[in-house]
Amino acid sequence: MNIPITSFPRIIIIGGGFAGIALAKKLSKQEVQVVLLDKNNYHNFQPLLYQVSTGGLEPDSIAYPIRKVLKDFPNFHFRLADVTEVDTKSNTVITDIGNLKFDYLVVASGSKTNYFGNTDVEKYSMAMKTIPQSLNLRSLILENFEDALLTSDLNERNALMNFVIVGGGPTGVELAGALAEIKKGILPKDYPDLDTRSVQINVIQSSDCILKGMSAKASQKAEDFLEKLGVHVWKNIRVTNYDGKTVTTNTDLTFEAATVVWAAGVKGAIIKGLDAKEFVTRGNRLLVNEFNQVKGYTHIFAIGDIACVENNDFPNGLPMMAQPAIQQGKQLGNNMLLLIEGKPMKPFVYKDKGAMATIGRNKAVVDLPKFKFQGAFAWYVWMFVHLFFLIGFRNRMVVFINWVYNYVRFDREARLIIRPFKKKRKV
Amino acid sequence: MNIPITSFPRIIIIGGGFAGIALAKKLSKQEVQVVLLDKNNYHNFQPLLYQVSTGGLEPDSIAYPIRKVLKDFPNFHFRLADVTEVDTKSNTVITDIGNLKFDYLVVASGSKTNYFGNTDVEKYSMAMKTIPQSLNLRSLILENFEDALLTSDLNERNALMNFVIVGGGPTGVELAGALAEIKKGILPKDYPDLDTRSVQINVIQSSDCILKGMSAKASQKAEDFLEKLGVHVWKNIRVTNYDGKTVTTNTDLTFEAATVVWAAGVKGAIIKGLDAKEFVTRGNRLLVNEFNQVKGYTHIFAIGDIACVENNDFPNGLPMMAQPAIQQGKQLGNNMLLLIEGKPMKPFVYKDKGAMATIGRNKAVVDLPKFKFQGAFAWYVWMFVHLFFLIGFRNRMVVFINWVYNYVRFDREARLIIRPFKKKRKV
């Protein structure tokens, strides 16, 4: 990997997501060598991926070059690498570009889509965890409308215009709302020779409410907003399969749909060598103590989605969202410096800053620790917070311009099939 | 294709480039049915593709949904289709989504990269005629730097940082200038552990000057600008082959390079059925008369890059650029309405509005019919003209913001490997 050997302790961070970047920033200008490994050369702002899928934003405006984050940090090395294994005996990380020894290891590998072992669903449904996946979904949605124009078979046409979103968490809810706005504002103009009123948007939730992690009020209001936008919300229904044509459920209900988005769950992206039963816990996450140390190790840490911090308020671990990841990254940065100096570390305490989701224009729900509100003001708060957490002035400007434009013009201009997905899949 | 049959004459336009879109706009709100066919659902602003390849602009900001251009036009139908053949006997267009009869046909299929029959070059070099190609080049450039970091073999490292651009036309010159600015402004910060001074940028031109279509002054100044930026300009040298490792030429000169961009020529994208020897002329273009009618037909037209309009000032046909395409599209729109009404058509007269190319910040060359100038003012003119011809307010805003940002910060933030190219090619 061509990483120089220095007198500083070497910290390897696996993953440049919210957790990894927050940690890296804390370690800048310290007497440590940091090697950050990621499969991508960019940090990707996952909360806005659904806007990429629905043509509201360019992918480039929610991604930020990792090298640019690190550019003023001495003793930092980024490598574009896929970590395949961690050898805890020799303290070595094994990757597709070679092996590297570490003094300290921080696993911030994030999470991936959880298909719960259903290979059909994995094969035929769309996920929305990465930028290429989001772009594939964007292509598929648009390709399906182009195909709907061509067929004279009513069932086929309806299936091409039927969207099934499995999972009523923030991702599913935000995507459904965006699709509903496309149905209303864009499709009738773009496809005058198609009866776009027959477009169906379905959200299927296995439990009795959507946005489960939020307040009852937020959940109810989000459902109201979705229904006002014409989205069908199905509760207490579990999807059992999707064979590329038909979605089956644990009830008599089935859906004929050409587009199924699987937003029903994520699981930790466990790395070989750190997959021992004693610390892989619920959701495929690494059980860590209050210092984010993986059980049994003092020099191996986990932060972000992959880490399950024991916390009485969250018996299933902290939510797999940006806030816990950022807070853990920052705290671990401070702790590692204490550890290296031989001082006692400080336990991680999660500060719940709340949660929010947007359903459509002037329609969002916000749960802050002290206030809960819904509607237009919530929507402004949602936009402000998301702009604030985006990395980079240019990204913020471009996203802001797009949002203003989309709001004023009821438009989403990035509805471009730049890399066709459907044809590729057929081959 | 599900196109309704009406009492209006049906005009099929093949291609939504500058020519096809200009024609479509002229035909809007007329008593004709227009079917526009394109392989992509977007119009793509080709003059700025090199900025996509070099991370200066998002691909989405130089593309515009074709359906959005047509949305207020009655009797317009867009279909995402690949035209495979034209049957001139039955007046039918044959495509991958079915066949369609026409009363009038306009071929605006544009041009594609001309490898002059060299399959090695076609296989190993990069082209920059489409958005996916430009994104592939962006990925490859960045992947090569990531790889350069990893190797200890000096020859390999130098090859990974050696860029060979074949062709000193506007595409080659603008790309070379952009790469030179990346070398200077971005690489030293992004790759502190790489000696980026050894990055080489070579432009190889077969004739004795670059920007051949422009004035001698512009050509000379462009060369000066390139050399000031550290680009090597090789003249009177013809590339004979590239096997993925070594570029060979008709002299002793060879280049070991991992990135070769082929910008040495384009040829008309001829369609089967319209490939008869009597009207396919130099550069694989369709010979048309002063009304843009393909020789031997009164109801089949060609406009834009694919059309070779006989013109004494341009014995090889008009330049394959946006201006002739737009002017032909507009003129043909007026002529078709005259033809349908049984009135005499007016001959096409090309108004040469000049040419321009940008080399870098404050470095451009502009040839207007009455004035020729170079330098900072030329650069502002270049930017203004390109913003003006971009379709769509949002695109203009986003491009403008990016340019201001890149100018002020000496930056190009879209340096993201969103879809790796190299790994894919290896498979």
The three-state DSSP-derived secondary structure of B137-159 is HHHHHHHHHHHHHHCCCHHHHHH
CA distances (Å), A161 to each of A50, A247, B79, B282, B287, in order? Answer: 18, 14, 17, 46, 44
CA distance A298 to A289: 10
**List of chain A residues whose C-beta atoms are within 8 Å of the C-beta of residue B407:** none
* Residue A286 belongs to domain with CATH number: 3.50.50.60
Mutation to test the B interface, candidates A57, A99, A398, A412, most B Cβ within 10 Å: A398
CA distance A47 to B209: 51
CA distance A204 to chain B (A): 30
Using CB atoms, which residue from A61, A413, A419 is nearest to B65?
A413
Q: Does B98 touch chain A (CB under 8 A)?
A: yes
Q: Does A402 touch chain B (CB under 8 A)?
A: yes
Q: Do B411 and A401 touch (CB under 8 A)?
A: no
Q: Do A401 and B401 touch (CB under 8 A)?
A: yes
- Chain A residues 191-210 with a CB less than 8 Å from chain B: 191-193
Using CB atoms, which residue from A1, A67, A414 is nearest to B60?
A414
Q: Do A417 and B40 touch (CB under 8 A)?
A: yes
At residue B387, the pLDDT reads 94
Please name which of B285, B266, B323 lies closest in space to residue B128, comparing C-alpha atoms: B266
Q: Do B401 and A394 touch (CB under 8 A)?
A: yes
User: Over the stretch B355-391, which tens digit does the pLDDT of each residue have?
Assistant: 999 999 999 999 999 999 999 999 999 999 999 999 8
The secondary structure of B89-118 as a DSSP string is TTTEEEETTEEEE-SEEEE---EEE--TT-
Please name which of B16, B111, B106 lies closest in space to residue B298, comparing C-alpha atoms: B106
Same domain, A260 and A146: yes
Q: Do A394 and B402 touch (CB under 8 A)?
A: yes
- CA closest to B144 among chain A residues: A80
CA distance B246 to chain A (A): 25
Using CB atoms, which residue from A61, A190, A419 is nearest to B67?
A190
Domain membership flag for residue A292: yes
Q: Which domain holds residue A26?
A: 10-39+81-113+266-340
Structure token pair of residue A216:
């009852």
Domain membership flag for residue B218: yes
Are A138 and A52 in contact by the 8 Å Cβ rule? The answer is yes
Query: Which of these three, B305, B340, B375, is where a domain ends?
Result: B340
Write the Ramachandran bin of B354: left for phi over 0, alpha for psi from -120 to 50, otherwise beta.
left
- Calculate the CA dihedral of residues B340, B344, B347, B348 and round it to 10 degrees: -20
- Calculate the CA dihedral of residues A164, A169, A171, A176 and round it to 10 degrees: 40
CA distances (Å), B59 to each of A418, B63, B106, in order? Answer: 9, 7, 28
**List of chain B residues whose C-beta atoms are within 8 Å of the C-beta of residue A190:** 65, 67-68, 71
Residue A312: CA count within 13 A, CB half-sphere: 0
Number of Cβ within 10 Å of residue A230's Cβ equals 16
What ranges make up the beta strands (E) of A258-305? Answer: 259-262, 266-268, 280-281, 285-288, 300-302
Are A163 and A255 in contact by the 8 Å Cβ rule? The answer is no
The secondary structure of B219-266 as a DSSP string is HHHHHHHHHHTT-EEE-S--EEEE-SSEEEESSS-EEE-SEEEE-S-E
Domain membership flag for residue B92: yes
Please name which of A43, A19, A37, A13 lies closest in space to residue A390, comparing C-alpha atoms: A43
Are B260 and B164 in contact by the 8 Å Cβ rule? The answer is yes
Q: Do A417 and B80 touch (CB under 8 A)?
A: yes
Amino acid at B324: P
Residue B393, H or E segment? helix B393-409
Q: What is the CA radius of gyration of chain A?
A: 22
CA distance A61 to chain B (A): 8
At residue B219, the pLDDT reads 98
A375 DSSP β-pair partners: A364
Domain membership flag for residue A216: yes
Pairing of strands B239-242, A363-367: unpaired
Amino acid at A43: H
Amino acid at B86: V
Same domain, A323 and A408: no
Are A124 and A259 in contact by the 8 Å Cβ rule? The answer is no
Q: Helices then strands (H, E): number in chain A?
A: 13, 25
Task: Place B310 in a pLDDT band, splitting at 50, 70 and 90.
Answer: confident
Structure token pair of residue A60:
């480039």
Structure token pair of residue A205:
């939730």
B374 DSSP β-pair partners: B365
At residue B409, the pLDDT reads 86
Same domain, A147 and A250: yes
Are A42 and A80 in contact by the 8 Å Cβ rule? The answer is no
Rounded to the nearest 10 degrees, the angle between the axes of helix A216-228 and helix A170-185 is 20
At residue A425, the pLDDT reads 67
B77-108 residues labelled b (16+ CB within 10 A) or e (exposed): bbbbbebeebebeebbbbbebeebebebbbbb
At residue A364, the pLDDT reads 97
Q: Does B80 touch chain A (CB under 8 A)?
A: yes
* Residue B179 belongs to domain with CATH number: 3.50.50.100
Same domain, A322 and A237: no
CA distance A225 to A359: 7
Q: Does B1 touch chain A (CB under 8 A)?
A: yes
Same domain, A204 and A246: yes
**List of chain B residues whose C-beta atoms are within 8 Å of the C-beta of residue A395:** 413
Same domain, A407 and A259: yes
Q: Does B404 touch chain A (CB under 8 A)?
A: no
Are B193 and A73 in contact by the 8 Å Cβ rule? The answer is no
Q: Could you read off the pLDDT tens digit of each residue along chain A, which spans 427 residues? A: 899 999 999 999 999 999 999 999 999 989 999 999 999 999 999 999 999 999 999 999 999 999 999 998 999 999 999 999 999 999 999 999 999 999 999 999 999 999 999 999 999 999 999 999 999 999 999 999 999 999 999 999 999 999 999 999 999 999 999 999 999 999 999 999 899 999 999 999 999 999 998 999 999 999 999 999 999 999 999 999 999 999 999 999 999 999 999 999 999 999 999 999 999 998 999 999 999 999 999 999 999 999 999 888 888 899 999 999 999 999 999 999 999 999 999 999 999 999 999 999 999 999 999 999 999 999 999 999 999 999 888 999 999 999 999 988 888 989 999 999 987 665 4
At residue A370, the pLDDT reads 92
Domain membership flag for residue B65: no
**Where does A251-349 have alpha helices with state H?**
322-340
CA distances (Å), B266 to each of A19, B171, B207, B283, in order? Answer: 48, 11, 16, 7
**Where does A10-111 have alpha helices with state H?**
18-27, 49-53, 66-70
Mutation to test the A interface, candidates B72, B398, B408, B426, most A Cβ within 10 Å: B398
Q: Do A401 and B398 touch (CB under 8 A)?
A: yes
Beta carbons within 8 Å of A227's beta carbon, 6+ residues apart: A233
Indicate which residue of B174, B181, B227, B290 is catalytic: B174
Q: Do A418 and B71 touch (CB under 8 A)?
A: no
CA distance A351 to chain B (A): 33
Q: Do B416 and A60 touch (CB under 8 A)?
A: yes
Using CB atoms, which residue from B2, B146, B189 is nearest to A80?
B146
What ranges make up the beta strands (E) of A1-152? Answer: 10-14, 33-38, 42-44, 63-65, 76-80, 83-87, 92-95, 98-101, 104-107, 111-113
Using CB atoms, which residue from A60, A135, A150 is nearest to B1?
A150
Rounded to the nearest 10 degrees, the angle between the axes of helix B393-409 and helix A393-409 is 170
Work out the end-to-end distance of chain B between its first and last CA atoms, rounded to an integer number of angstroms: 36
CA distance A42 to A321: 18
CA distance B346 to chain A (A): 34
Are A206 and A236 in contact by the 8 Å Cβ rule? The answer is yes
Please name which of A394, A384, A302 lies closest in space to residue A60, comparing C-alpha atoms: A394
Same domain, B31 and B87: yes
Q: Does B152 touch chain A (CB under 8 A)?
A: yes
**List of chain B residues whose C-beta atoms are within 8 Å of the C-beta of residue A4:** 193
Q: Do B193 and A152 touch (CB under 8 A)?
A: no
Q: Do B416 and A63 touch (CB under 8 A)?
A: yes
Token pair 């279909």: residue: B79
Same domain, B293 and B169: no
Size of interface A-B (CB pairs under 8 A): 151
Domain membership flag for residue A59: no
At residue B426, the pLDDT reads 56
Same domain, B252 and B275: no
Q: Do A402 and B398 touch (CB under 8 A)?
A: yes
Amino acid at B21: I
Q: What mean pLDDT do residues B30-46 have?
A: 96
DSSP state of A379: H
CA distance A309 to A351: 13
At residue B316, the pLDDT reads 86
Same domain, B142 and B107: no
Q: Does B352 touch chain A (CB under 8 A)?
A: no
B83 DSSP β-pair partners: B95
Q: Do B413 and A80 touch (CB under 8 A)?
A: no
Using CB atoms, which residue from A4, A394, A415 is nearest to B413?
A394
Amino acid at A54: T
Same domain, B206 and B153: yes
CA distance B413 to B415: 5
Beta carbons within 8 Å of B26's beta carbon, 6+ residues apart: B329, B330, B332, B333, B334, B337
Domain membership flag for residue B220: yes
Please name which of A85, A93, A84, A111 lies closest in space to residue A36, comparing C-alpha atoms: A93
Domain membership flag for residue B49: no
- Chain B residues 292-311 with a CB less than 8 Å from chain A: none
Q: Do B411 and A394 touch (CB under 8 A)?
A: yes
The number of angstroms, rounded, from the C-alpha of A114 to the middle of its chain's C-alpha atoms is 12
Same domain, A150 and A210: yes
Residue B427 predicted with pLDDT over 50? no
Burial class from Cβ neighbours inside 10 Å (0-12, 13-18, 19+) for residue B413 reads: buried
Total structural domains within chain B? 2
Q: Do B42 and A418 touch (CB under 8 A)?
A: yes
**List of chain B residues whose C-beta atoms are within 8 Å of the C-beta of residue A38:** none
Q: Do B190 and A67 touch (CB under 8 A)?
A: yes
Structure token pair of residue B388:
């003006």
Beta carbons within 8 Å of B318's beta carbon, 6+ residues apart: B308, B309, B311, B324, B350
- CA closest to B190 among chain A residues: A67
**List of chain A residues whose C-beta atoms are within 8 Å of the C-beta of residue B40:** 416-418
B174 annotated active-site? yes
Q: Do A191 and B67 touch (CB under 8 A)?
A: yes
**List of chain B residues whose C-beta atoms are within 8 Å of the C-beta of residue A154:** none
Are B294 and B106 in contact by the 8 Å Cβ rule? The answer is no
User: Over the stretch B315-345, which tens digit does the pLDDT of each residue have?
Assistant: 889 999 999 999 999 999 999 999 999 999 9
**List of chain B residues whose C-beta atoms are within 8 Å of the C-beta of residue A1:** 150
Q: Does A398 touch chain B (CB under 8 A)?
A: yes
- CA closest to A81 among chain B residues: B146
Indicate which residue of A174, A223, A227, A413 is catalytic: A174
